[in-house]
Amino acid sequence: MDDDVRLWMVERSYDTRNLVTVVHATTDGDRYHRKELSASMLARTDVTAGITVPATDLEPVEDEQRRQRYATEATRMADTHAPDDTV
């Protein structure tokens, strides 16, 4: 589909509620998609280097430093991994 966008994993974080947040972003760092998984769900789900999601599911990255960090990390992931690599 034309409105699907390729994203690359840029961040994985854990919180005190036993949730894992995985963030994938565009290589320009302008847009991202965040997904929260319980630790038990993460054990049953493969997190891949790249994902494709509808453009309507993306959020803009407002902070310039975060945008630059996401762009750098997404580009690094795109250069070193296939989209379906488990990371």
SS (H, E, C) the chain: CCCEEEEEEEEEEECCCCEEEEEEECCCCCEEEEEEEEHHHHHHCCCECEEEEEHHHCEECCCHHHHHHHHHHHHHHHHHCCCCCEC
Instruction: Please tell me the predicted confidence (pLDDT) of residue 2.
Output: 62
In the chain (87 residues long), the average pLDDT of successive 10-residue segments reads 88 89 97 92 89 96 98 98 95
Q: In the chain, how many domains are there?
A: 1
Whole domain around residue 67: which residue ranges?
Answer: 4-80
For residue 74, tell me if it sits in a domain: yes
58 within some domain: yes
Q: Please report the pLDDT score of residue 8 as a whole number.
A: 98
Output the CA–CA distances (angstroms, integers) from residue 3 to 10, 34, 36, 79, in the order listed. Answer: 21, 18, 23, 23
pLDDT on residue 43: 81
What global pTM score does this model have? 0.91
Kindly state whether residue 9 falls inside one of the protein's structural domains: yes
